[in-house]
Chain A
Amino acid sequence: MKITEEEVLYVADLARLNLDAAAVERFAEQIGAILDYMDKLNEVDTQGVPPTSHAIFLNNAFREDGEPAHLDREAALANAPEKEDGGFVVPKVVG
């Protein structure tokens, strides 16, 4: 098997996900099968081949510096699960 249950838990931690025992077992099995399939990539010689991250050739897209339109504070906060005094509220971070 390509990925152990411990690795699934480690990666879930990096991705900020809680998984119960059944999900860990299921994901280890399914993702293991998917990673086995990925062995097909090793059939291809990629020595010296540059990677592609973007299919269309574009240089950096610069614009003139300026002050474009932006959301006002009320609109930006309208969807916040919790807000106060014009800011987002989160659970206490420091003790």
Chain B
Amino acid sequence: MNLYELTLHEARDLLDKKEISSRELTRSVLDRIEAVDGQVGAYLTVAADSALAQADAADRAIAEGGISPLTGIPLAIKDVLCTRGLRTTCASRILENFIPPYDAAVITKLKAADAVLVGKTNMDEFAMGSSNEHSGFHITRNPWDFSRIPGGSSGGSAAAVSADMCIAALGSDTGGSIRQPASHCGVAGLKPTYGRVSRYGLVAFASSLDQIGPLAKDVADCAVLMNAIAGYDAKDSTSVPVEAPDYTAALRDGLKGIRIGLPREYFETEGVDPEVKAAVRSGIDTIQSLGAEIMDVSLPRSEQVVAVYYLIAPSEASSNLARYDGVKYGYRDKEQTTLMEMYRSTRSRGFGSEVQRRIILGTYALSAGYYDAYYGKASQVRTLIMQDFKKAFESCDAILAPVAPSPAFKIGEKTDDPLTMYLSDIFTLSANLAGIPGMSVPCGFSREGLPIGLQILGSHFQEETLLRVAYNFEQATDFHTRKPAL
């Protein structure tokens, strides 16, 4: 077995027994990147030298007995998280040469735990997209089929985990950006409750929706990463002062008596691929056979979710992205001689077309005369969407659903039609609007060999319930053990 194929908990075991060193493990991962990333394109920056230095430091810590759950583990980081001294681009030309002067809160935690940061992964520019085709630098290909997208916006992190170019990864999820690429690449991914993980140092897209979470080779690894990143942080004013539990403890219990809701609106949605329906249905049957009680629930405003999200997220983005003005950091068009033309030219040249489209849509939805009809109305329907979930979780402990309506689509298939692209997010957006946690685990493959994910949703701060359902399901199936042929 190649070391790069190890899961986090397998690597932990071998490192603790001193059967391997972090340097050997890190070297193996770096060699794997060298061998396959030319085809996949998962990374924007590979930090080989600093990764090996961190590996050596981890090996010294292990020799001295100072072991944390992440000591010496090579991780990939979505390029939306600030890493001190290491280029952070958000896959945008406007931040092409940005070297953050500080670490994001989660990066500080990973470094304190002696983790090894292998590099920064590709994404849709400013996390706006569902396919990684909107990266300002290059596309990422799905390791299971190079003619297809890996999903997005954390497509680089998902592809890196799937193709064994890291042991595990961090991503961010504003409308499905962890769960959908995890589903398309056949890996496990968890979007925590809003406020559970500090957003300090996460480059802002839509501040009321963004949340950082793990992508990993199995569910247990997601629990280990959650233990490392969850918790209150005074530097994020939306961080919730609720103590984070030991998420690995959630993996001990079975599913007997757990109540699982199936939102009838999700299963009546038109245009869902029959193979996705069959895989999700079979996943539900497996979970039922493990002792879960299955029941119908209703989320009546599911029909409005895409409209609400694609008003609120672009509105927040148009405000957040006002900071890119060519003054304090990032790209500047130095040819311009007036301040206003410098702003305009810098932003027009620095942002890609999807980002510009969303800035214009968001600015329009917030502008005088349209605010009430669009942003205001969407914010009211958001309240009703939250109430739908609150009511559903009065009768069930978790909800099962598809992640995406189809397996990974072809590169270029939807780039000319933004609305069709947005509609493919139909099953993931509501968790962000309601602030609840959501997870994707592999539940099958299409005839063409493309992975399909099962989505598990829970109420606020119930990540443990999601992990428990996902872990029991994983133990009863073998989808997570399959690897793409590279």
- Which residues in window 33-71 of A have CB below 8 A to B? 33-35, 37-38, 40-44, 46, 49-56, 58, 61, 63, 71
Which residues from A are CB-within-8-Å of B330? 79, 81
Taking a contact as CB atoms under 8 Å apart, the answer to whether A41 and B234 are in contact is no
Taking a contact as CB atoms under 8 Å apart, the answer to whether A55 and B194 are in contact is yes
A91 near B: Cβ within 8 Å? Answer: yes
Q: Which of B15-23, B46-54, B332-340, B477-485 contacts A (4 or more CB under 8 A)?
A: B332-340
Q: How far is the CA of A12 from the CA of B348 in the complex (A)?
A: 10
Taking a contact as CB atoms under 8 Å apart, the answer to whether B356 and A91 are in contact is no
Whether A40 touches B307, Cβ cut-off 8 Å, given contacts A15-B318, A31-B364, A88-B327, is yes
Whether A56 touches B460, Cβ cut-off 8 Å, given contacts A51-B382, A80-B327, is yes
Taking a contact as CB atoms under 8 Å apart, the answer to whether A49 and B383 are in contact is yes
A90 near B: Cβ within 8 Å? Answer: yes
Q: How far is the CA of A35 from the CA of B307 in the complex (A)?
A: 9
Chain A contact patch, size range: 35 or more
Taking a contact as CB atoms under 8 Å apart, the answer to whether B101 and A75 are in contact is yes
- Which residues in window 78-95 of A have CB below 8 A to B? 78-82, 88, 90-93
Taking a contact as CB atoms under 8 Å apart, the answer to whether A38 and B307 are in contact is yes
Which residues from A are CB-within-8-Å of B344? 16-18
Taking a contact as CB atoms under 8 Å apart, the answer to whether A46 and B331 are in contact is no
Q: How far is the CA of A88 from the CA of B102 in the complex (A)?
A: 19
Whether A71 touches B357, Cβ cut-off 8 Å, given contacts A55-B208, A55-B433, A55-B435, is no
Taking a contact as CB atoms under 8 Å apart, the answer to whether B377 and A37 are in contact is no
Which residues from A are CB-within-8-Å of B381? 41, 44, 46, 49
| Binary flags per residue of B337-365, CB closer than 8 Å to A gives 1, else 0 | 11111111101100101001101110110
B193 near A: Cβ within 8 Å? Answer: yes
Whether A54 touches B238, Cβ cut-off 8 Å, given contacts A15-B363, A31-B360, A34-B361, is yes
Taking a contact as CB atoms under 8 Å apart, the answer to whether A15 and B359 are in contact is yes
Specify the chain B residue showing the minimal Cβ separation from A13.
B344
Which residues from B are CB-within-8-Å of A37? 306-307, 419
Which residues from B are CB-within-8-Å of A33? 419
Size of the B side of the interface (Cβ < 8 Å), in residues, is: 74
Partner of B208, one of A15, A46, A49, A53: A53
Q: How far is the CA of A82 from the CA of B475 in the complex (A)?
A: 56
| Binary flags per residue of B303-326, CB closer than 8 Å to A gives 1, else 0 | 110111011000000100010011
Which residues from B are CB-within-8-Å of A18? 344-345, 348
Q: How far is the CA of A46 from the CA of B38 in the complex (A)?
A: 51
Whether A16 touches B374, Cβ cut-off 8 Å, given contacts A44-B381, A52-B386, A81-B326, is no
Which residues from A are CB-within-8-Å of B195? 56, 58
Besides the contacts A15-B322, A81-B332, what 9 more A-B pairs have beta carbons closer than 8 Å? A8-B360, A16-B322, A35-B374, A42-B377, A53-B208, A58-B240, A75-B101, A80-B328, A80-B329
Interface residues of B (CB under 8 A from A): 97-99, 101-102, 193-195, 208, 234, 237-240, 301, 303-304, 306-308, 310-311, 318, 322, 325-332, 334, 336-345, 347-348, 351, 353, 356-357, 359-361, 363-364, 367, 374, 376-384, 386, 418-419, 422, 433-436, 460
